[in-house]
């Protein structure tokens, strides 16, 4: 089975399952030298995929999905046949270029081997808290956040109940922020943040005034802001930031309040997880250790194929949105 992209959506269009089709696909016929046959276990859906539904993705490093072609993205699975020296049958492998097929042929150079014991067998964590979103949170906080243990800092995270945000807030707590406050889009997400993930407080941006709720949740102002969303939510947070604060610009570029940033000497630097490839291996080890020790909880939401992507874009997920393909 393969998931096929049927149309481009234009910059404003909302993705719906009808933009995709599931087809029977024939794999093969032959395994070439340097290739493996993999069985897909889990697929990742991520916000950047929305850009791949435009003819012009807006980013040099992102190619649009081809019309009538199988879509691809982050995935993880198990090797079933191998004609590679470096990979054997039953190895677990992951890739950013995984075809959304139940089985597919892949080149060895596109695959990385993963060790299931790093996640106590919870393989899908490699697409979430112990994968790219976890690294984004870890390296974003460590490289741009300037969190200092004992400095009585307050961190705010927008998109806080999502894949990156839920881990970023927990790392803020582990690294020594006195208060960590999440902003997200439902009461259920707020409850998970505070009761399950150890956030100090949470604000539902769909209810009431964000600025008022933030003032109550952050009585000492905001020192570090992990920004996943931009726009009016970020304007409200930045307005309450203390002098010499830091914005970790992880998510979409927003219309922000330049005056406040300048007059308070707040740094606001764009962060790209792919610019820190040399730190990924150590980051994965650190994240897996925290998750196994229970210091960081890995939340995820499991759904099937195109429904999962469309749901995530509307906030249907708590933690990392994952697609389960096979056991």
Question: How many Å apart are CA 215 and CA 173, to the nearest integer?
Answer: 20
Q: Name which position in 5, 19, 36, 47 contacts ligand NDP (CB under 6 A).
A: 47
Closest contact distance (angstroms) between CB of 218 and ligand NDP is: 18
In the bound state with ligand NDP, the residue whose beta carbon lies nearer, of 114 and 312, is 312
CA proximity to 131, closest of 170, 167, 180, 87? 167
Find the part of the chain contacting ligand NDP (CB under 6 A) among 65-73, 78-86, 215-223, 226-234.
Answer: 226-234
145 makes contact with ligand NDP (CB under 6 A): no
Find the part of the chain contacting ligand NDP (CB under 6 A) among 82-90, 171-179, 180-188, 283-291.
Answer: 180-188
Q: Are 27 and 37 in contact (CB under 8 A)?
A: yes
Helix/strand/coil (H/E/C) assignment for every residue in 31-67: CCCCEEEEEEEEEECCHHHHHHHCCCCCCCCCCCCCC
The set of long-range contacts for 254-261, using a CB threshold of 8 Å and a minimum separation of 24, is 254/227, 254/229, 254/230, 255/230, 255/231, 256/230
Closest contact distance (angstroms) between CB of 279 and ligand NDP is: 12
CA proximity to 130, closest of 148, 108, 143, 112? 112
Tokens at 132, concatenated: 């790219």
Find the part of the chain contacting ligand NDP (CB under 6 A) among 8-16, 59-67, 107-115, 163-171.
Answer: 163-171
In the bound state with ligand NDP, the residue whose beta carbon lies nearer, of 106 and 249, is 249
Q: Name which position in 184, 213, 236, 284 contacts ligand NDP (CB under 6 A).
A: 184
Q: Name which position in 41, 49, 76, 250 contacts ligand NDP (CB under 6 A).
A: 250
284 makes contact with ligand NDP (CB under 6 A): no
Find the part of the chain contacting ligand NDP (CB under 6 A) among 76-84, 190-198, 249-257, 280-288.
Answer: 249-257
Using CA atoms in the order 268, 273, 275, 277, what is the torsion angle rounded to 10 degrees? 150
Residue 201 burial (CB count, 10 A):
17
Q: Name which position in 92, 161, 287, 291 contacts ligand NDP (CB under 6 A).
A: 161
CA proximity to 152, closest of 170, 179, 174, 175? 179
Closest contact distance (angstroms) between CB of 144 and ligand NDP is: 10
Residues near ligand NDP (CB under 6 A): 46-48, 133, 136, 159, 161-165, 184-186, 189, 228-229, 233, 250-252, 271-273, 312, 315, 317, 321
């Amino acid at each position: 089975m393969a998931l096929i992209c049927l149309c481009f959506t234009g910059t404003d269009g909302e993705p719906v399952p009808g933009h995709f089709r599931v087809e029977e696909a024939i794999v093969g016929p032959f395994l070439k030298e340097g290739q493996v046959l993999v069985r897909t276990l889990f697929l990742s859906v991520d916000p950047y995929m929305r850009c791949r539904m435009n003819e012009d993705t807006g980013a040099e490093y992102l190619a649009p999905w081809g019309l009538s072609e199988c879509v691809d993205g982050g995935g993880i699975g198990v090797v079933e046949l191998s004609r590679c020296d470096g990979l054997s049958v039953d190895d677990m492998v992951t890739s950013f270029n995984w075809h959304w097929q139940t089985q597919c042929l892949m080149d060895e150079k596109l695959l990385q081997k993963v060790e299931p014991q790093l996640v106590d067998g919870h393989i899908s964590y490699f697409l979430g808290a112990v994968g790219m979103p976890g690294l984004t949170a870890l390296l974003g906080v460590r490289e741009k956040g300037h969190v200092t243990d004992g400095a009585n800092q307050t961190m705010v995270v927008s998109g806080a109940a999502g894949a990156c945000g839920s881990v970023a807030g927990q790392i803020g707590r582990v690294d020594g922020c006195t208060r960590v406050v999440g902003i997200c889009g439902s009461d259920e997400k707020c409850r998970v943040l505070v009761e399950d993930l150890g956030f100090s407080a949470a604000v539902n941006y769909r209810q009431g005034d964000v600025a008022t709720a933030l003032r109550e949740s952050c009585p000492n102002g905001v020192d570090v802001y992990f920004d996943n969303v931009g726009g009016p939510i970020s304007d409200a947070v930045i307005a309450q930031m203390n002098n010499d604060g830091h914005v970790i610009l992880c998510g979409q570029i927003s219309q922000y309040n330049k005056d406040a940033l300048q007059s308070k000497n707040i740094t606001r630097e764009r962060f790209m997880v792919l610019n820190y490839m040399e730190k990924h291996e150590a980051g994965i080890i650190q994240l897996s250790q925290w998750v196994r020790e229970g210091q960081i909880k890995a939340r995820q939401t499991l759904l099937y194929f195109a429904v999962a992507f469309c749901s995530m874009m509307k906030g249907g997920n708590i933690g990392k949105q994952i697609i389960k393909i096979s056991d």
